[in-house]
């Protein structure tokens, strides 16, 4: 039984087949990447797996349980968290509050019971705060805990978003372009963090345009083009696959990875 088992997932928007019959698996502690040109269907696939879009057909299993179409909160309680391509951090809340919001996603009770201020809830809030602080410490963000998220640099915001997703204590983490817009140092930090999380047993599903990062980190790569899986395999295999080179790592892809490499220097 795999941590994540995606079987024949498809979705169409009107006449557009955005994703067609995509299948793959992610095991605990494994880093699997999805690559493909702009508009290939990567984020749409993420949106179906994480419960934001209901697939037209196909099935998603988490730890053997069929979870297709369950809302994100229900998936969070079952161990699936994600980040977004465009940051979804609450800018006016403090860094600590952002991570605490993530903790609540993984819990059965939430903000409402906190608002009621019941003693059990107050105890839980303290425990949540402690857990969030420990996580900020681990992510090297503790010194920012009481500052509003809006005070953070872009790279730190990307890190905070990963922190918020981790607060729900996921077994599977979906990262949508975690290094986009980051400088070389920030990208290296994200790289090291992803390796550390996988080593701790978390399954990682990654969408990323930075080919160097993808090739370095991934155990397995899935290539999408116009919503269809055109190749999959180990990084060495994908890097040499003529179909992939034609569709993605050809002119357009090379331009992108060179741009990525240049921004890393």
Name the residues that contact ligand ATP, by CB under 6 A.
13, 16, 18, 36, 38-44
**Minimum distance between the CB of residue 227 and ligand ATP, rounded to whole angstroms?**
7
**Minimum distance between the CB of residue 253 and ligand ATP, rounded to whole angstroms?**
12
Which of 38, 92 has the CB closer to ligand ATP?
38
**Among candidate residues 216, 210, 225, 190, the one with its CA nearest the CA of residue 258:** 210
Tokens standing for residue 191: 């790289």
| Whole-angstrom distance, CA of residue 39 vs CA of residue 112 | 39
**Minimum distance between the CB of residue 113 and ligand ATP, rounded to whole angstroms?**
33
- Distance set, CA 202 to CA 4, 221, 224, 225, 236 (Å): 11, 17, 24, 27, 23
DSSP structural state of residue 141: -
Report CA dihedral (166, 172, 177, 178) to the nearest 10 degrees: 30
| Whole-angstrom distance, CA of residue 218 vs CA of residue 69 | 27
Which of 86, 92 has the CB closer to ligand ATP?
86
Which of 39, 148 has the CB closer to ligand ATP?
39
Tokens standing for residue 194: 């992803």
DSSP structural state of residue 91: T
Which of 40, 193 has the CB closer to ligand ATP?
40
Which of 41, 106 has the CB closer to ligand ATP?
41
Neighbours of 160 (CB within 10 A): 24
Which of 78, 212 has the CB closer to ligand ATP?
212
| Whole-angstrom distance, CA of residue 83 vs CA of residue 56 | 23
**Minimum distance between the CB of residue 40 and ligand ATP, rounded to whole angstroms?**
4
**Minimum distance between the CB of residue 160 and ligand ATP, rounded to whole angstroms?**
21
**Minimum distance between the CB of residue 3 and ligand ATP, rounded to whole angstroms?**
22
């Amino acid at each position: 039984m795999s941590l994540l088992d995606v079987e024949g997932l498809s979705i169409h928007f009107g006449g557009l087949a955005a994703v067609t019959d995509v299948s793959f698996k992610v095991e605990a502690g494994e880093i699997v990447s999805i690559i493909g040109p702009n508009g290939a269907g990567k984020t749409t696939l993420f949106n179906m797996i994480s419960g934001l879009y209901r697939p037209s057909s196909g099935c998603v299993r988490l730890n053997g349980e069929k979870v297709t179409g369950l809302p994100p909160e229900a998936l969070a309680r079952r161990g699936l968290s994600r980040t977004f391509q465009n940051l979804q951090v609450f800018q006016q809340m403090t860094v600590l509050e952002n991570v605490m919001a993530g903790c609540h996603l993984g819990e059965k009770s939430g903000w409402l019971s906190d608002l009621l201020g019941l003693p059990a809830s107050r105890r839980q809030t303290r425990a949540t705060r402690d857990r969030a602080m420990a996580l900020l410490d681990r992510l090297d963000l503790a010194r920012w805990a009481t500052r509003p998220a809006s005070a953070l640099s872009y790279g730190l915001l990307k890190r905070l978003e990963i922190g918020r997703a981790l607060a729900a204590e996921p077994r599977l983490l979906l990262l949508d372009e975690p290094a986009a817009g980051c400088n070389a140092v920030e990208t290296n930090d994200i790289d090291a963090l992803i390796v550390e999380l996988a080593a701790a047993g978390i399954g990682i599903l990654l969408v990323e345009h930075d080919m160097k990062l993808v090739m370095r980190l991934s155990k397995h790569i899935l290539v999408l083009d116009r919503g269809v899986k055109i190749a999959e395999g180990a990084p060495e295999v994908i890097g040499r696959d003529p179909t992939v080179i034609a569709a993605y790592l050809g002119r357009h892809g090379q331009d992108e990875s060179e741009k990525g490499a240049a921004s890393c220097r």
